[in-house]
Every structure is written in structure tokens, then in C-alpha cells.
Amino acid sequence: MITVCFITKKGERVTAQAQPGARLLEVGQAAGMSLEGTCEGQMACSTCHVIVAE
């Protein structure tokens, strides 16, 4: 398992556990993040926006 930390627009941190290779969309949704995911995690639309830090 790996730990993923989402930071909301308000600066709040939401931590979730995920398997390596899991889709961030599904991890975020399971953690209660408001991510629509119309493209079902294929990164083909703009219903959610994720910035990944180095």
C-alpha cells in the first residue's frame, strides 16, 4: 500500500491508502473527494484536475 495525500482547493489535506498502480481518480473518489470522472480515469476529459508534485 502507498499513501496518497490530496490537497483540496481550500488547502485541506485528505489522506488515502492505495495499491501501487491504482487510478488516482478512484483513490480520490473512495476518499470522498468530489471528482466526477466522466472519462472513467482515462485522462481524456477535464471534469477533474489533478496536479502531481515531484
The whole-angstrom separation of Cα 3 and Cα 47 is 24
Confidence check: pLDDT of 46 > 70: no
pTM for this entry? 0.72
Model confidence at 52, in pLDDT bands (50, 70, 90)?
Answer: confident
| C-alpha distances out from residue 35 to 12, 25, Å | 15, 7
Which 3 state secondary structure label does DSSP give 5? Answer: strand
Average pLDDT, the chain: 84
